[in-house]
Amino acid sequence: MRKHWLDNLRWVTVLLVLFYHVIYFYNNKGVFGGIGGFGEYPQCPQYQDVVMYILYPWFMPLLFLLAGISARYALEKKKAGEWFRSRTLKLLVPATIGLFVFQWMVGYFNTAVAAKDGVFDDVPGPAMYFIWSFSGTGPLWFIQDLWLFSLLLLLIRKLDPDNRFHEWCGKLNIVWIIMLGVLFWLGEQLLIRNPRPESIDGLYNLYKPLFYIVPFLMGYFVFAHQDVQERLGKAWIPLLCSAVAAGGVLIGSTFGQDNTSPQYLSSPLNCLYGWLACLGMMAWFKARFDRTCAFAGYMTKASFGLYIVHYLVIASLGYMMKTYTQLPPAAMYAILTVAVFTLSPLIYEIIRRIPVVRWCVLGEKKTAKRS
């Protein structure tokens, strides 16, 4: 039986990613990327940036956790080789070939801000195309990590051929489930605290492979168990309330800081909030949203594609409004929010109907039927 709560939580989280990027694009808290805010903090507080503080500690770890659960279910139905080939098509192709077919346009706008300083004035056109392509990776770091974790999972599974560790994980009670947050905290400690300029340290802190593999493996070994999911569902109210309380303390005491810095992310309070939010969201959706409808069914199938294409809308429209118009900030946020939630599905629907482009950008061999 399909677990609709799992599908619903995944696509809802993807929609939150889209909204997060709208706010992130204009942030003035020192978070790398985007085009910058409408004034310096604290003179210009930009209280809308609170969205970043609410979402960033947990929404990407949650997506990796859900991916680990899904990997467990898929490997119960498919042979390992078949599953990994499908993962390579779905993840690696869009994150490599797709960069040169579609994401180079994202890279064009990503480099436009730096181009104002003249750093690309002497770079020939063909070389700029490759710079745009690699600069257009953007949110696709997620699926690059996910492909790597899928490969590592095949090796890790060989260490537990009889599923004894997996079965043991299914016996964890709610107290031990909460205590797994220690692993969440340990993973964040592996970030490079003081990344060196002009090195790959910053790139490592973006991809955070040694951190994100933790929720991915916890999803596979622990949270794929029906019994564990039932225990979470029964505790959804206290878990969600605890997450809200921890988040309130975190945001109230740190607003204005760069919430993506290694020091911020590795703090005990950030890790506590991030882990409780992951548990609370899973518990809430397990208890209250284990059902589907036509819209939910569509979003279940389309959310991956929306994730792939959405940042072009934000990078292009967000850049042009800030650079070439005098619109008030509230109008820019409103226009960009409406645009990302309307144009992203349109772009996705167009791409999935073009055979070769569909394969390169979405990792799909043929148009998926829509129910």
pLDDT digits 0-9 by tens, 60-89:
999 999 999 999 999 999 999 999 999 999
What mean pLDDT, rounded, does the chain reach?
95
Residues (pLDDT < 50) of the chain are 371
Write down the pLDDT at residue 198. 81
Does residue 367 belong to any structural domain of this protein? no
- Domain presence at residue 235: yes
pLDDT of residue 1: 80
Q: Is residue 180 part of a domain?
A: yes
Is 145 inside a domain boundary? Answer: yes
Whether residue 246 lies inside any domain: the answer is yes
Residue with tokens 């209280």: 47
- pLDDT for 15-70, tens place per residue? 999 999 999 999 999 998 889 999 999 999 999 999 999 999 999 999 999 999 99
Q: What integer pLDDT is reported at residue 371 of this predicted model?
A: 41
**What's the pTM value of the predicted model, to 2 decimals?**
0.96
Domain that holds residue 115: 4-289
Looking at residue 116, its pLDDT comes to 66
Q: Quick one: pLDDT at residue 367?
A: 57
Query: Is the CB of residue 289 less than 8 Å from the CB of residue 4?
Result: yes
Residue 296 domain flag: no
Question: Roughly what angle, to the nearest 10 degrees, separates helices 4-25 and 59-75?
Answer: 150
Query: What is the domain count for the chain?
Result: 1
**Residue 206 resides in a domain:** yes
Residue 298 maps to a domain: no
